[in-house]
Structure 1
Amino acid sequence: MPEIDPFWQNDFTCIGAMDELSELQKTYQFDLPDELIARHPAQFRDQSRLMVLPADRPLPENRSFFELDQILEPSDILVWNDTLVEPRRVFLQRSTGARIEALFLEPVQSDPSRSVAPAPEGSQSWSCLIRNASRIKQEELLIEPQSQRNFRFLRLTDSANNHSFFLQPEPGLNMHEFFLNYGQMPIPPYLGREEEAGDRNRYQTVYAGDQDLTSAAAPTAGLHFSAPLIDRLKDRGIRIASVRLAVGLGTFAPLTGENLRKGELHEERFSMPETTATLLNHPAGRIIAVGTTTLRALESNLREYQRFEPGTFQTRAFFKPPDRIRSIQGLITNFHLPGSSLLMLVSAFAGTERILHAYRQAVEDRYRFYSYGDAMLVFA
């Protein structure tokens, strides 16, 4: 999963990490050569490498994601996040001609500008990350130059002097169509490149759903699944279920001292269909989450209701050792950034030393890391 790069951090929030956070993150550091960061996906989705960590054997196995249907048992249940990633990276322009880059995170349910000016009828504000936002004036109009659509800029500052930024589109603008026509896919900044034609397809799972609970980043563990592999999984008797979590700051924002103090991450919304809840409440085999976003949704739901409950929910959960993960028995996940909440979540499931040892082995065996990289399948 992507994390925000320093350019976003400077404008989005004050990151004064506490000593306790620094000490915690030191535990989850590892050395990664730059050439092991995957800048592009594998030629074919299911040709990524797969490191398997069995529950009953100490040493990892080197396999191919193509073999997943033979690695899993027919009684297993795969649960994935079928959110749709929208091209929400948008370049706007000030009246001076200066270019402004914005990442649209999610629409806000209430008008954040009510203390400044009422929202026009038919308009909804969006929470955003904006580069160089400190230079933009309150309520300044920004223009998307191709469509000539305008967006009103809003800044809110809390008591701790943390800044939040919002963009309010002109009334009546269909944002889903706008993103499709004028946005770019929000590929992670550490790829060090602009969107390419293939990213529209490859930074999206083949099973992505409709425009309900869409995302600002991909649930990247699911990028390895191809349609033929899914067919083979079903033919083997492996059942597949879905949840839908809108991927946002709760997944990819860097940790802060405030996160540690409160034991919370940024809020993310998710839904669980009744069919998924029914299947997971009466499993015949292992429940295997595809990705950390799926795991976050499942564990949050189970802890709240002591069973899997259908409906639409919000979570701020921050799972890390020594938390015990109870919702799954297996996890498919990519290799994450050092010191990230995602690496801590994986460690809460499988054990810190076990995961860090696997990461060191992955570096030695030249696995590819991060969003477009290889995957691991770990059982507990």
Structure 2
Amino acid sequence: MRLIVVKRKTTFKYQAWIYTAMSLFLGILVYLIIMAFCGISPVNVLVNVAKSFISPNIVKDFLVLTAMGCALLISFRAALWNIGGEGQFYMAMIPGAIFTLIVFNPQYNPAPPPIVVILVALSGMFIGALWALLAALFKAYLKIDEVPVTLILNYIAYYTINYLVYGPLKGRYTYGYLRTDEIPGIYRLNIKLHVIPRGDTLQVFLQSMVAQLAYYIALLVLAILIYVFTWWFFKYCKIGLYIKIHGSNPGYLQAQGVNTKHITLLAMAISGAIIGLTGSTYLLSELGRIPYELERQTAGYGYLAVLVAWLSLLDYRMVPISAYIVSSLRNAGIALQAAGLGGAEQTFLLIGSILLTYSIIRFLVDYEVRIAWK
């Protein structure tokens, strides 16, 4: 007896929306069943999860994951599984810390903030692209799978940053904590609105949402620009067309005389550059300083963005929706911890349940399993 897996040829309208909705519903259902077996009330869990979907606190995560989801979408469409977004995201912060804390520290060598911010952004893009290119070179010229390489590079990035924070970038005004000094205020990219929520529930929600969007204005602008770029890149750019073909039929590109190695390098470099730009912006708008033992304190955006790209079915139109779902689930995990319904593992269990159901649904819908008895 043999099992034969055959790809289905027929598709149906709105399948991306249906896949995502089914994955979300069944994933949460699996999670609730597990919680019930652990003696935790499914009703309390469900209430906290539902509240997270209408919470203004998801704004930051939503914007970051939208930008990074679009970045990973570019490499994924080329069938290059860039799992190294985490490393690219944080490595891009190194030049930002160097420029703002050492080279152009306003205490002894001030510079016009717009110029410094542009330098931080460009250098972050360069480092992010370079970090992604390391895996792309192994893939293109040595035929080494990019998944383990990018994953290993994440940990190299963690420990590289730890070394720098413990050594050359160690802060002098950190009250005994191991971390860099805080980025000077003149280089920060946020607007603080002192809003005191008043009125009914809807008014309080809108006021909180406006305050969040204002504070993360740089991430908001960045997410919009990256989303528009992704749309333009795949709709009108020749390289975007090559990347899509590379993901489905690289042999066709080779027959047309296109160097597929160059497409591999370009796809990974563009993906890494966008992630690097997001990391630089995140440093200047939210993080403010780089902590020691980064691997213990990371928000995990690089890994969550992988889920965003997968849930979108590699359709850029679905990326914001996927980012909204994943950011809501991440905040649901935090809310469950705050409510005493579990620890940090609740977040990973919730997201993992949805990813598992998504993978199973996607496989069963896209492929047909046949049994051959001879």
Instruction: Please confirm whether the aligned pair reaches a TM-score higher than 0.5, indicating the same fold.
Output: no
Q: TM-score range by the shorter chain?
A: under 0.3
The structure with the largest helix share of the pair is 2
Which of 1 and 2 has greater Rg? 2
The structure with the largest strand share of the pair is 1
TM-score w.r.t. length of structure 2: 0.24
TM-score w.r.t. length of structure 1: 0.23
